[in-house]
Amino acid sequence: MVMNVLIIGSGAREHAICKSIEKSSIKNKIFCYASNYNPGIAKICHNISIGNINDKKNVLEYALENNIEIAIIGPENPLEVGITDLLDLNNILVVGPKKNLAKLETSKIFTRNLLIKYNINGCPKYKAFNKINGLEEYLKELGNEFVVKYDGLAGGKGVKVSGEHLKSHDETLEYCKNIINKNGEFIIEEKLYGEEFSLMSFSDGKKLKHMPIVQDHKRAYEGDLGPNTGGMGSYSCENHTLPFLSESDVIEAKKINNQILIALKNEFNDFYKGILYGGFILTKNGIKVIEYNARFGDPEVMNVLQILKSDFLEICLAICNQNLEDVEVEFENLATVCKYAVPNGYPDKPVKGEKIEISQLQDKKNLYFGSLDQINDELIEAGSRTVAYVGVGKSLSEAEKLAEKSISSIQGPLFHRKDIGTQELILKKVNKIKSLKL
């Protein structure tokens, strides 16, 4: 018997998911419902259908036509529209929570309130607003150290940080009024200082199995400078933790993910089946929650799946059938460094439609295609993060060297961050945490 597996989405994250499914010992055929034609995914898949991945009916139709047994949802928008709910009603297994459970990512107010309601550590001081009442007073209370978060999916553009994006209370009030005028809601919360990290866990709704901790780099330029992006690259260490985290920090982050799972079950009387992604920051006052995502992080997924020893499809089935407890989830004790090459001008004014050349890259095994089209056998930049390469090694420096050499060999109007995973940048992060704790 061959199992038909549907992947929803078509970026580098979904390419990584496809590669891992392809390796499974369970015989399978991969189908992809995609927003664009990813040449990496196309090479692996039995069939790709291009369409609107947020259109529930079309996705269902495609799944039924192809006798899909299990679907894996890559991005957040299909979760928000409830594609899981519809596929589930039609007896298709889904890795990805139902619409109400996905509020963990789709509503920042929901998640902040959940932390408070269930007495979970790590919630910064915050207040939710849908009116102007009390706003000025709260800003005064926080002074110049605040963050405004739009309550909804905003493609990574929903967070405005004081001093960076918002220079004064007047500018902030103006920004908030705009949200209110569009009937939107938002959070104002205290600004946190420290180092961010991601802890992703497989979840069958009853049990979590944690993945190695990864650190992403959101800023576009070297030295963690410049505009925020979807993530320019990420690293993980051979011991599955990060150089600036203590053992108790790791225990605390895992505990928070576990408590979130229980809180969700209590809140909705339903099971969260999918990937639980905790976005944390280590501050001088310990670990705080920045956000939750209801899916794999991109680029973090490439670090973890690259070193997953166990059978990914078997894990996906265990997530859906709620027997994660009985399934092996093991990762190699290897370090990984993932670097993205992005179009010149990214993220504000990326070039588009330009050709890139990968022929100089000798070993393409760990190459992931992102925002890229294939036209007449040429690879053409589509405007967002283009290709990623994951270096794997016994140490971070070995992994970094491999990633750097490989991503540098890709030619075209692209750039990448040379500093991700280097000893120099890691040391800076370690020292930053040391000085915060003084």
- Residues at the contact surface with ligand AMP, assessed by CB under 6 A: 124, 147, 158-159, 161, 189, 191-192, 196, 218, 279, 290-291
**For residues 205 and 273, is the Cβ–Cβ distance under 8 A?**
yes
Q: Using a CB cutoff of 8 Å and minimum separation of 24, what contacts does 58-65 make?
A: 58/33, 59/8, 59/33, 59/83, 59/86, 59/87, 60/86, 60/87, 60/90, 62/6, 62/31, 62/33, 63/6, 63/33, 63/87, 63/90, 63/92, 64/90
The residues facing 341 across adjacent strands are 387
Burial (0-12, 13-18, 19+ Cβ within 10 Å), 170? exposed
Question: Which is nearer to ligand AMP, 286 or 413 (by Cβ)?
Answer: 286
Q: Which does 327 bind (CB under 5 to 8 A by kind): ligand GLY, ligand AMP, none?
A: none
Q: Which does 213 bind (CB under 5 to 8 A by kind): ligand GLY, ligand AMP, none?
A: none
Question: Which is nearer to ligand GLY, 92 or 242 (by Cβ)?
Answer: 242
Q: Which does 201 bind (CB under 5 to 8 A by kind): ligand GLY, ligand AMP, none?
A: none
Q: Which does 231 bind (CB under 5 to 8 A by kind): ligand GLY, ligand AMP, none?
A: ligand GLY
Q: Which does 42 bind (CB under 5 to 8 A by kind): ligand AMP, ligand GLY, none?
A: none
**For residues 243 and 237, is the Cβ–Cβ distance under 8 A?**
yes
Distance between CA atoms of residues 316 and 108, nearest Å = 27
Q: Which does 147 bind (CB under 5 to 8 A by kind): ligand GLY, ligand AMP, none?
A: ligand AMP
Question: Which is nearer to ligand GLY, 275 or 315 (by Cβ)?
Answer: 275
Tell me how far, at minimum, the Cβ of 147 lies from ligand AMP, in Å: 4
Give Cβ neighbours of residue 141 (< 8 Å, ≥ 6 apart). none
How many CA atoms lie less than 13 Å away from 44 in the CB half-sphere?
A: 25
Tell me the window of 133-141, 176-184, 291-299, 415-423 that interacts with ligand GLY (CB under 6 A): 291-299
| 216 binds ligand GLY, rule: CB under 6 A | yes
Write out the binding residues for ligand GLY, residues 40-69 only, by CB under 6 A. none
Which pair of tokens denotes residue 250? 């790791």
Give Cβ neighbours of residue 251 (< 8 Å, ≥ 6 apart). none
Tell me how far, at minimum, the Cβ of 37 lies from ligand GLY, in Å: 22
Task: Out of 300, 381, 404, 419, point to the residue binding ligand GLY (CB under 6 A).
Answer: 300
Give Cβ neighbours of residue 4 (< 8 Å, ≥ 6 apart). 28, 29, 31, 66, 67, 68, 69
Task: Out of 40, 75, 124, 231, point to the residue binding ligand GLY (CB under 6 A).
Answer: 231
Question: Which is nearer to ligand GLY, 105 or 311 (by Cβ)?
Answer: 105
Rounded (5°) CA angle 323-324-330: 145
Tell me how far, at minimum, the Cβ of 192 lies from ligand AMP, in Å: 4
Binding residues (CB under 6 A) for ligand GLY: these are 216, 231, 293, 297-298, 300
